[in-house]
Amino acid sequence: MKIILQHIVQESEDGKRLDQFLTTFDEIVSRTHAQRLLKSGYILFNGKPELTPSRKVRTGEEILVNIPTPKSMDVFPEDGELDILFEDECLIVINKSAGIVVHPSVGHPSGTIVNFLLHHCGDLSGISGVLRPGIVHRLDKDTSGVLVVAKTDDAHQNLSEQFKEHTVKRQYKAMVWGVPDKEHGIINAALGRHPVRRKDMTIVENYNTEESARRKGKCAVTHWRVLRRFEFSALLACRLETGRTHQIRVHLTSIGHPLIGDPQYGRSPLKKFSTVSAELSQTISNFRRQALHAEILGFKHPSSREWLEFSVPIPDDFQKLVKAIKYD
């Protein structure tokens, strides 16, 4: 077990219900999680265990949060299909299909890109931990496109630094609800964990305030431009300066253009369009993932320093969606 945070209750936090207040910290993912920690005696108030979830927090109180060490998961190699775009002794670049998780987790212990890579490569760099060997960056389960994985520790460190310095070229294609008024734009809005829906990300307002700092909002910048305009939707190209969790999905939703098919952030307005054919309506309903594709990835090779750039077309399901909207 280890202490993961120590916090003094501020005036602005006075009177909040304890279990709900605890979920404002990234380490506690839900009120149920908070209640379980409280019941087990892992939350200390002024040095003493607190067991009552409904207790109100008061200004000046010290909260000490302990988290039990999670049980380790064994990650086994699995024989699975990999669409390899490039591979050498330092790294491997793949075209990830939608519907596949990048690395194992409690909900997805197998059948991930990491399982398949361990079978293919035999060994991967271990900088990012047992569950994420070689993983430098991620794509959401239902996002398709280009992904780079390090095969050595040196390559992992080098690639991670390139991502950190925002020198990696990353461009996505996105099909969104609604048609933007402008041809292009920049969304500069910090992102953090949603205070209630802990699996969601949200824009953190007033980024420079103490409240936003406590919620751990991180700078996030997305450049977008319109590629195609349709009656009720548009195809966009999105270039990332930063690579935050769910960045494109949350940013585009924030400007009124959520991704088609996104069950988490993109509520469908399809019922408002009386002119949409039954066939198109069915095609959109059958598209059960966010319409987001990592089209281009470019970076310097960790060893040779040569610029490498990879581009993959949108997959068949995405193409079918675009054609159905185009010709309806």
The continuous run of DSSP H or E covering 155 comes out as helix 153-164
Class of domain 71-164+300-320: alpha beta
pLDDT of residue 31: 76
Contacts of 36 (CB under 8 A, 6+ apart): none
Quick one: CATH architecture of 2-67? Roll (3.10)
pLDDT, tens digit, 9 for 90 and up, residues 43-69: 888 888 888 888 899 999 998 888 776
pLDDT of residue 214: 46
Please report the sign of the dihedral spanned by the C-alpha atoms of residue 243, residue 109, residue 292, residue 191. Answer: negative
- Please report, in angstroms and rounded to a whole number, the separation of the first and last CA atoms in the chain: 58
pTM of this prediction?
A: 0.77
Per-residue pLDDT of the chain (328 residues; tens, 9 = 90+): 455 678 899 888 899 898 888 888 767 767 777 888 888 888 888 888 888 888 899 999 998 888 776 555 678 899 999 999 999 999 999 999 999 999 988 778 899 999 999 999 977 877 666 778 889 999 999 999 999 999 998 999 899 999 989 999 999 999 999 999 999 999 999 999 887 777 889 999 765 544 444 456 789 999 999 999 998 999 999 999 999 999 999 999 999 999 999 989 987 787 777 778 888 888 998 898 999 999 999 999 999 999 999 999 999 999 999 999 988 6
The pairing of beta strand 221-229 with beta strand 84-87: unpaired
User: Each residue of 198-224: b (16+ CB within 10 Å) or e?
Assistant: beebbbbeebeeeeeebbebeebbbeb
Quick one: CATH architecture of 170-289? 2-Layer Sandwich (3.30)
**Looking at the annotation, which residues are catalytic?**
140
pLDDT of residue 293: 98
pLDDT of residue 216: 61
Kindly list the domain boundaries of the chain, sorted by start residue: 2-67, 71-164+300-320, 170-289
